[in-house]
Amino acid sequence: MNKDEQPSGNPWLKSLMIWGGIFLALLLVVSLFSERGPAQGTQIRYSDFRDSVAEGSVREVQIGEDRITGTLKNDQPFSTTPVPNDTGLTELLQENGVEYSGAAPEQQSLLLIILLNSLPFLLILGIAFFALRQVQKGGGAGGAMGFGKSKAKLLTEKQGRVTFADVAGIDEAREELEEIVEFLKDPSRFSKLGGQIPKGALLVGSPGTGKTLLARAIAGEAGVPFFTISGSDFVEMFVGVGASRVRDMFEQAKKNAPCILFIDEIDAVGRSRGHGLGNSNDEREQTLNQLLVEMDGFEANEGIIIIAATNRPDVLDPALLRPGRFDRQVVVPVPDIDGREKILSVHMKKVPLAPDVNSRTIARGTPGFSGADLANLVNEAALLAARRNKRLVAMQEFEDAKDKVMMGSERRSMVMTEDEKKMTAYHEAGHALVSINEPASDPIHKATIIPRGRALGMVMRLPERDSYSYHRDKMHANLAVAMGGRVAEEIIFGHDKVSSGASSDIQYATDLARNMVTKWGMSDKLGPLQYEQTQEGYLGAGQTARTFAGAETNKLIDAEIKKLVEDAHVRANDVLREQEDKLHLLAQAMLEYETLTGDEIDQLLDSGKIDRPDQPSGPARPVSTGSLGVPKAGKRFSGDGATPQGA
């Protein structure tokens, strides 16, 4: 921190001194005014004073312009206010032998006169001085006139030092940023060969993958000033404020060069220009223009390295991504199984673990989890262990926490009728049985009819390894699995008793079929063409617009989507009608046990029984195909059933 940024003193002490001075000034004014108070003695009426003189009870008096004071013969002082133009008072005093004299006029204090006359001017000067200090201080967040000041904060070790040792699972991204840190520590190593360090690095990745954590690690490793700011801190309702803050931010950075400037969520200010209407977007574009000029304009910014993070690189302005501004884009991906194991090891250091905990097993069962998801998983496991009054976090807590994160919290307090529970069991059994008979489908991790989240039941499938692309046969398998629950209801309960529980399944199947037809070119009639794309700007994020299709093509697209879903319905129907006995067996097992693992489902379909060591009747017990007891009928719950993958 340079001398311009050092605080001039303790703000609390300065405020205390100011209020103390104001208090002393008030005491001084009160004491000065108290000197002008009435003279000591009993205040009497003027008529009583004349009567006392006539009675001969007054010894002496002092006559002033506006007050008469004196002493009675019993030594009691008194005072009174004279009546104007009473010319007979002196004669009355002489007749009664009262000693009298004139009182000198009261002299006001010179200090009091000066203070009274200068108080208005001192008040005006104080207000002006306070306003001037606020203007000079500015300070973005605190100054009255600090709208145009930067809100960038200087990160210090007191705020929690993070190093590259705390970053795991994203080795390639870490290596690219370690190069920047090495340049700041030893610039000659790179410059002697004519190389120049990139002026900027853009961290790109999904939410929770560790972009901000990487930036904090750079701050902890670099040993140079590290300024951090969010993209939303530039945006204001006042025109020109964002551009002013950009200029002030780079001025601060130049004073502290070499330094690192980190802009989080840069897409808030760096979106492509020309898509907005109104002053708010004009203000954002002015801010972006100023940022472009400061990053690489006529004036060089030597020693300032800019690092930004975003999960929406597709919406950034092309001028922001060109070499010279953000020279390199560092992709921070979702970790693979090895990365997840390393991330779990980092977070598990803070938790007392039981001997049976295996981070590799947990990593294998959490495909697609980001670093933030894994941190949340470890935290949930620790909370579960504390709730169960355990001293160590065991593997069971991690499994339960994984189910909670993936499928939602159990809602065991929900009371379902016997019919609803039976329909849910057959619905989930249909999903599971179709999944087992589809070779391209992912293996079943767990099936349950305990309500979780917004679902009445769920079949969770997990891939055997990390997947980076999906094939046509797997998509058709997912469509068939999605329709398995609806088909099971049709077979067992009939067409008129089909419930609304398959609404989320139908939505999933329709979205998947639409993507296959319009984006991935998996329709033989329409060919390998893109018919839909996500459009930013007026429609907003996540909305699509059919920009390549006419009316006839749209009809063909809808027909192909319908055909894919209906073919999946037929595939699921063929499987479940052929294996209806297994459908009954699996549904009755789910009614009896409520939750089954994938291995238990395979065991049940192979041998007709489930092997559980904790069963009261022994290690293996056949599943009854008769009617089983269920909770008493209670409040009816209307809502969606399970999705094919627990989403």
How far apart are the C-alpha atoms of 442 and 526, rounded to whole Å? 28
pLDDT of residue 611: 76
For 75, what's the count of Cα atoms within 13 Å in the CB-facing half-sphere?
Answer: 0
Please choose, from the candidates 302, 298, 299, 268, the residue with its C-alpha nearest in 3D space to the C-alpha of residue 285. 268
Q: What tokens does 54 get? A: 């006539």
pLDDT of residue 315: 84
Side chain identity at residue 471, one-letter code: H
Is 493 strand, coil or helix? helix
pLDDT tens-digit series, residues 23-78? 666 666 666 555 544 445 688 888 888 888 888 888 888 887 778 888 888 888 88
pLDDT of residue 458: 83
How far apart are the C-alpha atoms of 393 and 613, rounded to whole Å? 22
Q: What is the mean pLDDT of residues 251-274?
A: 82
How far apart are the C-alpha atoms of 74 and 310, rounded to whole Å? 96
User: Which one has a higher pLDDT value, 149 or 85?
Assistant: 85
CB-based contact 499:489 (threshold 8 Å): yes
Q: Answer yes or no: is 41 a known binding residue.
A: no
pLDDT of residue 51: 85
How far apart are the C-alpha atoms of 643 and 504, rounded to whole Å? 6
pLDDT of residue 575: 93
Omega before 225 within 30 of 0, i.e. cis: no
pLDDT of residue 133: 63
How far apart are the C-alpha atoms of 489 and 501, rounded to whole Å? 10
How far apart are the C-alpha atoms of 212 and 308, rounded to whole Å? 9
Q: What tokens does 240 get? A: 């020109």
State yes or no: pLDDT of 509 exceeds 80: yes
Taking each helix axis as running N to C, give the angle between helix 580-593 and helix 551-578, from 0 to 180 degrees, rounded to the nearest 10. Answer: 80
pLDDT of residue 542: 44
Q: What is the mean pLDDT of residues 132-160?
A: 54
Confidence class for position 125, pLDDT limits 50, 70, 90: confident
CA distances from 256 to 201, 228, 516 (A): 19, 13, 53
For 418-622, CATH number out of 1.10.10.10, 3.20.20.80, 1.20.58.760, 1.10.3720.10 equals: 1.20.58.760
CB-based contact 440:471 (threshold 8 Å): yes
**DSSP secondary structure code for residue 335 in this structure:** P
pLDDT tens-digit series, residues 517-574? 998 889 888 888 888 776 544 334 444 444 566 788 889 999 999 999 999 999 999 9
CA 294 to chain centre: 29
Q: Answer yes or no: is 371 a known binding residue.
A: no
How far apart are the C-alpha atoms of 388 and 382, rounded to whole Å? 10
pLDDT of residue 351: 92
State yes or no: pLDDT of 625 exceeds 50: no
Q: What is the mean pLDDT of residues 96-114?
A: 71
How far apart are the C-alpha atoms of 235 and 278, rounded to whole Å? 14
pLDDT of residue 425: 92
Q: Answer yes or no: is 207 a known binding residue.
A: yes
pLDDT of residue 73: 82
Confidence class for position 4, pLDDT limits 50, 70, 90: very low
Beta carbons within 8 Å of 644's beta carbon, 6+ residues apart: 431, 435, 459, 461, 478, 481, 482, 484, 485, 505, 508
CB-based contact 166:346 (threshold 8 Å): yes
pLDDT of residue 502: 86
Which CATH topology does 153-331 take? Answer: Rossmann fold (3.40.50)
Q: What is the mean pLDDT of residues 376-386?
A: 93
pLDDT of residue 237: 55
| Neighbour count for residue 570 (Cβ, 10 Å) | 12
For 42-102, CATH number out of 3.40.640.10, 3.30.720.210, 3.40.718.10, 3.40.605.10 equals: 3.30.720.210
Angle CA 400–470–402, to nearest 5:
5
Q: What is the mean pLDDT of residues 8-24?
A: 63
pLDDT of residue 277: 47
Q: Answer yes or no: is 210 a known binding residue.
A: yes
Please choose, from the candidates 80, 39, 83, 37, the residue with its C-alpha nearest in 3D space to the C-alpha of residue 58. 80
Give the architecture (CATH level 2) of 337-407: Orthogonal Bundle (1.10)
Q: Answer yes or no: is 120 a known binding residue.
A: no
Confidence class for position 514, pLDDT limits 50, 70, 90: very high
State yes or no: pLDDT of 478 exceeds 90: yes
Is 143 strand, coil or helix? coil
Place of tokens 């590290």: 226
Name the CA dihedral angle for 415, 416, 417, 420, rounded to a multiple of 10 degrees.
180
Q: Answer yes or no: is 624 a known binding residue.
A: no
Place of tokens 């000065």: 32
Q: In degrees rounded to 5, what are phi and psi of residue 271?
A: -65, 155
Of 221, 428, 490, 600, the catalytic one is 428
**Of 205-214, 277-286, 404-413, minimum mean pLDDT range:** 277-286
| Neighbour count for residue 447 (Cβ, 10 Å) | 29
Counting residues of the chain whose pLDDT is more than 90, the rounded percentage is 17
User: Which one has a higher pLDDT value, 482 or 284?
Assistant: 482
Confidence class for position 631, pLDDT limits 50, 70, 90: very low
| Neighbour count for residue 565 (Cβ, 10 Å) | 18
Q: Answer yes or no: is 209 a known binding residue.
A: yes
Beta carbons within 8 Å of 86's beta carbon, 6+ residues apart: none
Q: What tokens does 327 get? A: 């020279």
pLDDT of residue 559: 93
State yes or no: pLDDT of 247 exceeds 50: yes
**Does 464 qualify as catalytic in the annotation?**
no
Indicate the domain borders of the chain. Answer: 3-34+109-137, 42-102, 153-331, 337-407, 418-622
pLDDT of residue 377: 93
User: Which one has a higher pLDDT value, 457 or 574?
Assistant: 574
Is 425 strand, coil or helix? helix
Q: In degrees rounded to 5, what are phi and psi of residue 327?
A: -70, -30
pLDDT of residue 37: 47
**Of the segments 205-219, 229-243, 429-443, 547-561, which one has the largest average pLDDT value?**
429-443
CB-based contact 315:265 (threshold 8 Å): no
Beta carbons within 8 Å of 14's beta carbon, 6+ residues apart: none
Q: Answer yes or no: is 231 a known binding residue.
A: no
Q: What is the mean pLDDT of residues 215-237?
A: 76
DSSP letters of 255-316? Answer: HT-SEEEEEESGGGT-BPTTS--SHHHHHHHHHHHHHHHHHSSSS--TTEEEEEEES-GGGB
Burial status of residue 9 (CB atoms within 10 A of its CB: 0-12, 13-18, 19 or more): exposed
Angle CA 331–334–338, to nearest 5:
110
**DSSP secondary structure code for residue 546 in this structure:** -
Is 642 strand, coil or helix? coil
**Of 41-55, 189-203, 596-610, minimum mean pLDDT range:** 189-203
User: Which one has a higher pLDDT value, 382 or 178?
Assistant: 382
Question: Which ranges in 301-370 belong to alpha helices (H)?
Answer: 318-321, 337-348, 359-364
How far apart are the C-alpha atoms of 355 and 383, rounded to whole Å? 18
pLDDT tens-digit series, residues 418-447? 888 899 999 999 999 999 999 989 888 888
How far apart are the C-alpha atoms of 479 and 512, rounded to whole Å? 8
Q: Answer yes or no: is 431 a known binding residue.
A: yes
